[in-house]
Amino acid sequence: MPLQISDKVKVLGYQAQTELTEEFARIDAVAQENTARVLSAFQNHRVAEGYFAGTTGYGYDDLGRDQLDQIYAELFGTEAALVRIQFVNGTHAIACALFGALKAGDALVSAVGAPYDTLLGVIGAADKGHGSLKDYGVEYRQVELLNNQPDLEGMARAAADPRVKAVLIQRSKGYSTRASLSVAEIGEMCRVIKAANPNAAILVDNCYGEFVETLEPTHVGADLVVGSLIKNPGGGLAPTGGYIAGRRDLVEGAAMRLTVPGIGGECGCTLGQNRLLYQGLFLAPHTVAQALKTAVFAAKVMEKLGYETEPRSNAVRHDIIQMIHMKEPEALKKFCKGIQFGAPVDSYVTPEPWDMPGYDCQVIMAAGAFIQGASIELSADAPMRPPYTVYLQGGLTFESGRLGVLLAVQELLGEA
């Protein structure tokens, strides 16, 4: 039986899409430039069939793995990179980067308020069990937003302490209501921080931001970027993993934390997954563009219904996340239910709020993905707290993402 979408919702979707010609053209232009960069990197490193063979056990001499590290380093304009399926998620990769850059007696500064919820346990700002940076003698401070914007003067003051050895910048908004950071804004933050403390390493949580612009934070002064392969750079094909790219000593420090000192990145078998990591990276600029079009379309449709969105549908994007302020819990649950209806996997499931590990309140998540937790696939999630803002991201194809949004609107309007 074909999808049942009411005529009212179809007309709304058609009207929204016809008004997005300029926004879609801008997204396509970025995707074309980034695709050219990725293709060039593949050619420069002479990618061949042999790179796709996997290793087992220790993973010594995995040519495909080591060449993929170099390709990531080229794309991010860095000295080194570490791309591994052994990273269980983005939080794990960021934790390895932080532990590699810091030691007892050092201080860490978060530059734009509190980081994403799951990092609070890593830092020790929330008690999630033994093994946090705090447990190992690392002090933590954060620079609060000023009028919901980065406080450059506050960053300079916080970073000036010589004990500050690392500054963390979260590119995406996470579950906050601030705008996501542009690469240009991150570049200005790097300039201010480096002027105050040249010895502080600047680490950027790059999740949700890769390939949204034609430059990455490491092109404008960041020392390290970290992200998840089941988000943007995996292109919807990478089955798991994360990446770290940046200054060689910081990448090596993170590798020592992922494995052990003395081994670092020399070990780590790929278990036949290299092909998917390469192909996913090759598709990533296009896949990110599909997710961005889905986000822009969702914003336009919801604006037509009178909802407040961030960013607005006509805004230049800096990550793939779309916020929609639903204002009340029932509307939030209906929207997520509709997104789940539009999934290719588990479409018959009704999402309900639950006590998700790592979060301080119940969270509702709609995601019917081929890869569990893959945020580059269409999903919607939200903490169950005012203003009941839903965070929409992903969409492997705009066509399927568009249908998911329309089904969410239909559920919200009671048109189903």
Here the CATH number for the domain that contains residue 115 is: 3.40.640.10
pLDDT of residue 355: 85
Mean pLDDT in residue range 266-292:
98
Q: Tokens 């705008």, residue?
A: 179
Cβ atoms of 235 and 370 within 8 Å: the answer is: no
Residues 295 and 181 placed together within one structural domain of the fold: no
Q: How far apart are CA 412 and CA 337, in angstroms?
A: 9
Intra-chain end-to-end CA distance of the chain, in Å: 15
Please identify, among 218, 249, 274, the residue that sits at the C-terminal boundary of a domain.
274
Can you say how many angstroms the Cα of residue 315 is from the centroid of all Cα atoms in its chain? Answer: 19
What percent of the chain shows pLDDT beyond 70?
99
Cβ atoms of 358 and 128 within 8 Å: the answer is: yes
Q: How far apart are CA 320 and CA 318, in angstroms?
A: 7
Residues 138 and 104 placed together within one structural domain of the fold: yes
Torsions phi, psi of 360, nearest 5?
Answer: -95, 5
Position 328: which residue type?
A: E
Q: How does residue 37 score in pLDDT terms, banded at 50, 70 and 90? A: very high
Residues 92 and 239 placed together within one structural domain of the fold: yes
Task: Dump pLDDT digits (tens) for 291-349.
Answer: 999 999 999 999 999 999 999 999 999 999 999 999 999 999 999 999 999 999 999 99
Task: Dump pLDDT digits (tens) for 202-248.
Answer: 999 999 999 999 999 999 999 999 999 999 999 999 999 999 999 99
Q: Tokens 């819990």, residue?
A: 329
**From the CB of residue 260, how many other CB atoms can be counted at a distance below 10 Å?**
10
The encoded tokens of residue 321 equal: 């996340």
pTM above 0.85, yes or no: yes
Q: Nearest CA to 413 among 19, 18, 11?
A: 11
Residues 21 and 90 placed together within one structural domain of the fold: no
Task: Dump pLDDT digits (tens) for 122-172.
Answer: 999 988 899 999 999 999 999 999 999 999 999 999 999 999 999 999 999
Q: How far apart are CA 217 and CA 175, in angstroms?
A: 21
Q: Is residue 2 part of a domain?
A: no
Q: How does residue 1 score in pLDDT terms, banded at 50, 70 and 90? A: low
Residues 186 and 216 placed together within one structural domain of the fold: yes
Mean pLDDT in residue range 374-396:
94
**Domain containing residue 151:** 35-274
**From the CB of residue 158, how many other CB atoms can be counted at a distance below 10 Å?**
22
Least confident of 19-33, 360-374, 388-402: 360-374
Cβ atoms of 369 and 377 within 8 Å: the answer is: yes
Please identify, among 242, 274, 306, the residue that sits at the C-terminal boundary of a domain.
274
**From the CB of residue 371, how many other CB atoms can be counted at a distance below 10 Å?**
19
Residues 298 and 215 placed together within one structural domain of the fold: no
Q: How does residue 389 score in pLDDT terms, banded at 50, 70 and 90? A: very high
Total domains in the fold of the chain: 2
Is residue 354 over pLDDT 90? no
Q: How does residue 177 score in pLDDT terms, banded at 50, 70 and 90? A: confident
Q: Is residue 311 part of a domain?
A: yes
Report the CATH number at residue 334: 3.90.1150.60
Q: What is the mean pLDDT of the chain?
A: 96
Using DSSP bridges, classify how beta strands 139-142 and 107-110 pair: parallel, antiparallel or unpaired.
Answer: parallel
Residues 152 and 175 placed together within one structural domain of the fold: yes
Q: Is residue 1 part of a domain?
A: no
Q: How far apart are CA 102 and CA 90, in angstroms?
A: 18
Q: Is residue 86 part of a domain?
A: yes
Q: Which residues pair with 241 in a beta bridge?
A: none
Q: Residue 311, preceding bond cis, omega within 30 degrees? A: yes
Q: Kindly calculate the radius of gyration of the chain based on its CA atoms and give it in whole angstroms.
A: 21
Residues 41 and 143 placed together within one structural domain of the fold: yes
Residues 259 and 287 placed together within one structural domain of the fold: no
Task: Dump pLDDT digits (tens) for 64-122.
Answer: 999 999 999 999 999 999 999 999 999 999 999 999 999 999 999 999 999 988 899 99
Please identify, among 274, 304, 324, the residue that sits at the C-terminal boundary of a domain.
274
Residues 6+ apart with CB under 8 A from 365: 336, 351, 356, 379, 380, 381
Q: Residue 233, preceding bond cis, omega within 30 degrees? A: no
pLDDT of residue 356: 75
Residues 371 and 237 placed together within one structural domain of the fold: no
Residues 231 and 306 placed together within one structural domain of the fold: no
pLDDT of residue 51: 96
Is residue 396 over pLDDT 70? yes
Residues 18 and 156 placed together within one structural domain of the fold: no
Q: How far apart are CA 135 and CA 250, in angstroms?
A: 21
pLDDT of residue 416: 60
Cβ atoms of 391 and 175 within 8 Å: the answer is: yes
